[in-house]
Amino acid sequence: QLVESGGDLVQPGGSLRLSCAASGFTFSSYWMHWVRQVPGKGLVWVSGINGDGSITEYADSVKGRFTVSRDNARETLYVQMNSLRAEDTAVYYCGRGNYPYSVDIWGRGTMVTVSS
């Protein structure tokens, strides 16, 4: 199970940190991903991190502004979002990477709204 938290209303240029608490599987053994979705629109991959946190990847649209990390002892995934823009407004899902290059477990999402 994955449960996201931390979504909020934030002003343009502001920062926010999202969390994703995992349970029911060996968290440290899996890649984890963040995927976002503007309500009514399509899915967009944001970032991924490998099991020990040594490899991170980002979509071009968030590179340099978002930082993904994980705490395997706490079984929690994070994304630190800085310099937020209106176009970052979306539901943010965390997901477990499994079945090569796929996401097989998804959280319910947390809403981030960037607006003045």
From candidates 14, 25, 45, 72, binder to another protein by CB under 8 A: 45
DSSP annotation of 83 reads S
Which residue stretch of 11-19, 21-29, 41-49, 65-73 sits at the interface with another protein (rule: CB under 8 A)? 41-49
Shortest Cβ distance from residue 13 to another protein (Å)? 25
Nearer to another protein, 48 or 81 (CB): 48
Does the footprint of another protein cover residue 33 (CB under 8 A)? yes
DSSP 7-74: --EE-TT--EEEEEEE-SS-GGGS-EEEEEE-TTS-EEEEEEE-TTS--EEE-TTTTTTEEEEEETTT
87-116: which residues touch another protein (CB under 8 A)? 93, 99-104, 106-109
Pairing relationship of beta strands 9-10 and 110-114 according to DSSP bridges: parallel
48-87: which residues touch another protein (CB under 8 A)? 48, 57-60
Shortest Cβ distance from residue 53 to another protein (Å)? 16
